[in-house]
Amino acid sequence: MINLVWLKRDFRIQDHRPLHEACQNGKPILILYVIEPEYWQLPDTSARQFKFIKESLLSLSEQLQQLGGTLTVRKGDVVTILEKIHQHVAISTLYSHQETGNTWTFERDKRVIAWCKAKHVGYQEYRQQAVFRGKVNRDKWQEQADAWLQSDCFPPPAKVNALLHHHNGLELLNDYPGDDHNVASKPQIGGIKAAQQTLNSFFNHRINSYLFGISSPVKSVTSSSRLSPYLAYGVLSLKDVLQQAQVLSVESKRNKSGFLSRLYWHSHFVQKLESEPNYAEQAVHASLVAMRASEFNPERFALWSAGQTGVPFVDACMRMLIATGWINFRMRAMLMAFSSYHLWLDWQKPAARLANLFIDYEPGIHYPQVQMQSGTTGINPFRIYNPVTQGQKYDPDGHFIRRYLPELDHVPSGYIHTPWLYSGLKADVYCPPSILPDDAARAAREKISQFYKQHLDKDETGRVIVTHASRRRSNSRRKKRASTDKHQLKLF
């Protein structure tokens, strides 16, 4: 009889409860990661994500080896693979972390649970975020989240009683099972060493410019924590990072509070998808499902996807994302909003395009944010960013634009954000937009306002508010929590 630890998005040994619990009863342990080809055919997955996972798994295998453990990699359907293992050596208990993923992973998890039940295999699943399954009372969610986030982290096991004494199947990581060639030319590197270096550099000095630079696509490259891919794939524990940050001594308490608030924000958004998995597939507000569906323009989508809309700041942000797999939060929001309003594209295909470009793709954050930015929640204000003024604010001299749009080198700085006004623009090199941004925004505002007036159901709005809307902390609890400030409190 063996214990089996099934890895999904938890490539670490620190604060890994499934691994910790599996080591408690002395049974041999099989630590398994399954490459699932069907998953890598989905529109929101990509080769750049697989590369990061590969690097993180190879790093994890080295850590496990130091504990006497080994990593086993298999390729195929996870239920079929579990059945084959169970036929050769009986699985006593399967240990794993909860995953708030897309609909495919949710259905996959249900099949695994059903298999365990049918085979009388124990199934132990643990959360690695402050996210709760089943019916959740949003008014009490914050207290539950606080309690879990402040609970003790689990130390790495002193020793792993491995079933196998050699790494098995790691060579399967060399063959990407998807059909795309979506790789990043300048990506972040996976694995615990890179994660720890990023964390240390942020805590030691970069955090001091955190709030100063996180909105700029240029400054945010260093002022943002850059921890998002390591948190998304569980190379670092969210709880562990948060608890380290709480005791951190920094020059500016405001920067520390701003970072802490975003760590709490992480679980706040993931809970939305956990509470309503359809968030990833259709408008969360049922009245708004058909708002843009009948007017999808493939040509506009293709230009937006490639960073060729004719609006320089938008295109530069998209091309940075294509090159690196990362861009800051504000620019992600602007890219999604531009596709939804200025181009009037229904949100699903743009959402999938962004997802497969993000190395740090976290479905529980991605889909609620996408719907909020595209106006399909019914409870958030329209977020129609002006891409010209955004560019003038965050890239006044056009250095960022020229870095990613070298075809605009010949355009004077005074026209770099509005090159369609420059008589010397080489239209065969950089084509101006078919509709100017101000005109497109005006038309979108009229369309969405009219649709809301005609179709928005107040009862459905009430349901969305009860299920997903943020809650503020009570005054008494604000006073008790010294590590938060007014910026953090507004998130709940």
228 is in an annotated binding site: yes
Under DSSP, the state recorded for 191 is S
Q: Give exposure, 73-102, as e/b (b: 16+ Cβ within 10 Å).
A: bbeeebeebbeebbeeeebbbbbbbbbbbb
Cβ(210)–Cβ(224) below 8 Å: yes
Tokens 């239920």 belong to 79
Query: Is 201 known to sit in a ligand binding site?
Result: no
Rounded Cα distance, 259 and 199, in Å: 12
Give the chain's radius of gyration (CA, Å): 24
* DSSP letter (8 states) at residue 456: -
CA distance 383 to 232: 26
Q: Among candidates 346, 338, 264, which has minimal Cα distance to 298?
A: 346
How distant, in Å, are the alpha carbons of 72, 293, 325 from that of 360? Answer: 24, 28, 8
Annotated ligand binding at 226? The verdict is: yes
Answer yes or no: is 423 a known binding residue: no
Between the CA of residue 123 and those of 164, 217, 282, what are the distances in Å?
A: 22, 44, 31
Helix (H, G, I), strand (E, B) or coil at 2: strand
- Angle at which helix 253-275 crosses helix 238-246, to 10 degrees, equals 160
Give dist(CA 228, CA 238) in Å, integer: 10
Tell me how far CA of residue 365 lies from CA of 381, 395, 441, in angstroms: 18, 27, 26
At position 40, the amino acid (one-letter code) is W
- Secondary element (H or E) of residue 117: helix 103-119
Identity of the residue numbered 362: E
Listed residue (277, 244, 282, 276) closest to 263, CA to CA: 244
CA distance 74 to 373: 38
Give 18's contacts (C-beta < 8 A, 6+ positions apart). Answer: 5, 6, 10, 95, 96, 97, 124, 126
Which residue bears the tokens 């190395």? 359
Scanning the structure block, which residue is given the tokens 């041999």? 28
The annotation status of 259 as a binding-site residue, yes or no, is: yes
Q: Report CA-CA distances (Å) from 488 to 262, 370, 468.
A: 8, 21, 18
How far is the C-alpha of 364 from the C-alpha of 371, rounded, in Å?
A: 12
Tell whether residue 225 is among the known ligand binding residues: yes
Q: Is 242 annotated as a binding residue?
A: no
Neighbours of 458 (CB within 10 A): 9
Annotated binding residues for FAD: 210, 224-228, 259
Which residue ranges make up the annotated binding site? 210, 224-228, 259
